[in-house]
Chain A
Amino acid sequence: MRRTIVYGVLVLFSILCLVPMVWLAVSAFKANADFHAYAFMPPPDRLTVANFSSLFKQMPFLRFMMNSFFVAGVTVMVQLFFSSLGGFALAKYAFAGKKVIMGVMLATMMIPGPVLLAPMYELIYHLRLIDSHLGLIVPGMVNVFGMFLFRQSMQSVPDEMLQAARIDGCNEFQIFWHVVIPVSRPIIGAFCLIAFMGTWNSFLWPQIILQSSDRFTLPIGLNQMVGVYEADYGAMMAGTLLAVLPVVVLFFLLQKEFIAGLTKGAVKG
């Protein structure tokens, strides 16, 4: 009985979570005339793919998508490189000022992002990176949250393994690459997914930095469709659906690694 109630509640919450996604998917196939006439699902014969063709006619959607994939892909890989190295150093090396550095890093996480917009803009402007993809990638190259994530994960790697690798003749980078990284795979998966979603959905900074439409990422491109006096809701829904899709697909492909990463260390052996 208790089990049934638990499952019932879980199913209910699952439905609540899924309804907006299903509504989005259905809306992407609704004609504009039906958009408000049918609150949810119109009769199947009224569904249309016109919104998708309208979307690709109205804007260079494929280019926006490629821009997003490029910026997100490069940013995540660079972040992964620096975050894992930084996390390794913080977890496994003792050096002067380590606590101070960690304190400063923690402090930077407490500063709200918008506060940094003006100085960042000035910096990027002087670096001549305004209206470029590098202007999006460079400020996001180092991820403090990622460093802490990797530090926490790599602390659980036994020092004896590192010592054994040193005795076998590994240099410090080889130890990192061949010993520490393979045992950190779950956290790498989780970090990649979190970092990818953060970059993929990033809006404020790209909106400030990017000016030419051929460099727009998806959120910025989609946002252009919102006019003050007109809005093509159908095309917007189609665009949003396509924008959400890569993240959903990625999550399904990586869900095992993601969950393993987040629950790593949850059970003590």
Chain B
Amino acid sequence: MFRRWLDDLPLGLAPLLIAAMGLVAGLYLLLHPVQRGEADLSMWVFGPLHADAYKMAAEDFSVRTDHTIDVQLINYNAVNQKLRSALWAAVNIPDLVEIEKSAAGGFFRGPLAKVGFLDLKPYLVRDHILDRVPANSLATYTERGAIFGLPHDIHPVMLAYRADIVDPYLARRGLRMEDLATWGDYFRELRGLCTAGQRYLLQIEHGDAWAFQIFLMQRGGGIFGPGGRLRMDDDTAVQTMTWMIPLVAESGDNQVAESLGNWDPSFYRGLIEGFYIAVLCPDWRTSQLEAFAGDLHGKMRLVPLPAATPGGLRTSQMGGTMLGIARSARNPELAWQFARQIYYGSPQQHGQLFRTTNIITPDRQAWNDPAYHEPRPYWCNQVLGEQFIALADAVPPFYSSGFLPTAQAKLNEAIVACYGRYRSHGVEGFEAYVRQRLTSAADYVRRQMAREPDWDAEE
């Protein structure tokens, strides 16, 4: 009966099914309209956890002030593209927006008066917040004296290592991990744990610009310096590259670092199986390890990064997020009040975020919250918050630029080339080659910058 009825349909089963699905969905949407009043402020956020927290904060803000905030979660890449289009077209610009650190510089180009964000320095000074924040955390978002973004985090980098493997090995030699003050000490004392193809002392990829930047900043360098000055080919960069590449490019047992991937399942698998015994670990990565390497519960510990040289810096930094208020914000003072609430609000609120994400806030006033002083069983009962807070003021500054993506792309090419060169020629003439490659990469970026000579000029 059904088959016959079906055969009589001129269009057949496919359109019938698809039309039915569309119809049912249409009815559902019709019966479930979104009650959407125009909010007083709109905010774009790219982190799902941030969005959840801010939506709750917006409800609280609405109760206290009678003003509404529409918090929209937008994918990381989309937020940058949409914001750029919105600022260019002056259409649909959010009042508040969070941007990832490496993308921030691109939004601070042009005459200061035409930057799409408000200078928040007067607000920070007025409300006595400037002193509460480590100075270096503001470097990324400071452009020609103006502060266009509030730092959400600091992201000190530590060394996360397999305590169940390393500590007994060092104990037999009368040592502790804390005794290994430099990278030289680290690789020398743990060399016995390294077996080619089976176990390595550090997770670094062969063409890993991510690790390179961590090491570079630890040595006081950077891709860009203050004022957007390109410095990816200075002596610090050359020395860092000359030191880092052999870690992964040496052959046989002399290779001490290796990777199975940086962000994918194989990364966690490598750590769980002890393929590498330590990873460079910003605060945000610790929560990922807890979530995705559950088997290592009680087997991991954190120590400050070994320094490049005795007495050198024991940390670096990686990643970050800023909150900006659009120059076109409908109510800048209201936007500031909300920004202040979510970034420099109650210590309990930051403590809760720390418990969920392990990310420490740059607001010193929040560091007294109990959340930062709780032992963590996953990390052998180390007090994670105190560990990161102890390094917060030492975190080196990161200077962004509109040309950062270009510089990072050229740096990647240089790293891959240097790796290939070391594999084929060894140490012979390597430093000169590194210098030549970095200079060549930097020259390319400088040519690009020269094409827009007035990008940071005032009118």
- Chain A interface residues (CB < 8 Å from chain B): 31-37, 39, 58, 63, 65-70, 72-74, 76-77, 80, 125, 130, 177-178, 181-182, 185, 188-189, 192-193, 196, 207-208, 211-214, 220, 223-233, 246, 250, 253-254, 257-258
Contacts and interface: CB of A to CB of B under 8 A. Distances in A.
B53 interface: no
B49 A188 contact: no
24 contacts: A31-B294, A32-B294, A36-B293, A37-B268, A37-B294, A58-B48, A73-B18, A73-B25, A73-B26, A74-B26, A77-B22, A80-B15, A188-B14, A189-B13, A192-B14, A192-B15, A212-B34, A225-B48, A226-B76, A227-B47, A228-B47, A228-B76, A229-B319, A258-B14
B164 to A, nearest CB: 15
Contacts of B49: 227, 230
A233 B52 CA distance: 17
Contact of A230 (B21, B47, B268): B47
Contact of A37 (B15, B28, B293): B293
A72 to B, nearest CB: 7
Contacts of B294: 31-34, 37
A37 B267 CA distance: 11
B92 A257 contact: no
Contacts of B17: 250, 253-254
B434 to A, nearest CB: 30
Contacts of A246: 21
Interface string B216-256: 00000000000000000000000000000000000000000
B46 interface: yes
A67 B269 contact: no
Contacts of A207: 75, 78
Contacts of B82: 208, 211
Nearest to A177: B10
Given A73-B23, A211-B82, A224-B75, A253 B91 contact: no
Contacts of A74: 22, 26
A192 to B, nearest CB: 4
Contact of A77 (B18, B32, B357): B18
Contacts of A68: 25
Given A185-B11, A214-B36, A224-B48, 6 more contacts: A70-B29, A185-B12, A211-B92, A213-B72, A229-B47, A233-B265
Nearest to A193: B14
A36 B292 contact: yes
Nearest to A230: B49
A32 B290 CA distance: 9
**Those 7 A-B pairs whose CB atoms lie nearest each other, nearest first:** A73-B22, A33-B294, A36-B268, A69-B25, A192-B14, A70-B25, A189-B14
Contacts of B23: 73
Given A77-B18, A125-B91, A227 B265 contact: no
Given A37-B295, A39-B265, A228-B100, A182 B18 contact: no
Contacts of B81: 208
B440 interface: no
A3 B108 CA distance: 67
A238 to B, nearest CB: 15
A58 B50 CA distance: 12
Nearest to B359: A229
Contacts of A253: 13, 17
A224 B73 contact: yes
Given A192-B15, A254-B13, A69 B22 contact: yes
B75 A223 contact: yes
B196 interface: no
B404 to A, nearest CB: 15
